[in-house]
Amino acid sequence: MRDTEARPDWLTRGACRGEDPDLHFPVKDTNYAANVAKAKALCWNCPVLQDCFRYAMAAQEELGIWAGTTNADRIKMRAAAAAGQRAEMAVAS
C-alpha cells in the first residue's frame, strides 16, 4: 500500500504492524525466497488475515505479500476463480 493512500482500520491490527516494511515488500535478491517465506509465516498467524486477503484481491495489489500471498499467488487465484465462474455459468446454461 502506498503511503499516500488511506490505510484500512483492520491494518492497524495486522501482525505486520511495526515490522520493517521491506519484510512484506521483499527485494528480488538472493534472499527473496527466504524473505517471502518469513513474511508468509507472519501472515498465517495474523488476526486480520481474511480482511487483508479480501482487500488485496479486490484492490488487485500488484506489489508485496498480502495475507500470505504474493502477487503471483493472487494472479493464480483470480484465474482459478474466473475459471470456476465460467464453469458454473456453462453448467447453468
Q: Provide φ and ψ at 66, rounded to 5°.
A: -130, 130
Minimal distance in Å, beta carbon 30 to ligand SF4? 23
Establish whether 81 is an annotated binding residue: no
Nearer to ligand SF4, 12 or 30 (CB): 12
Minimal distance in Å, beta carbon 79 to ligand SF4? 22
Establish whether 85 is an annotated binding residue: no
Nearer to ligand SF4, 6 or 92 (CB): 6
d(CA 93, CA 89): 6
Instruction: Say what angle helices 49-59 and 32-44 make with each other, to 10 degrees.
Output: 120
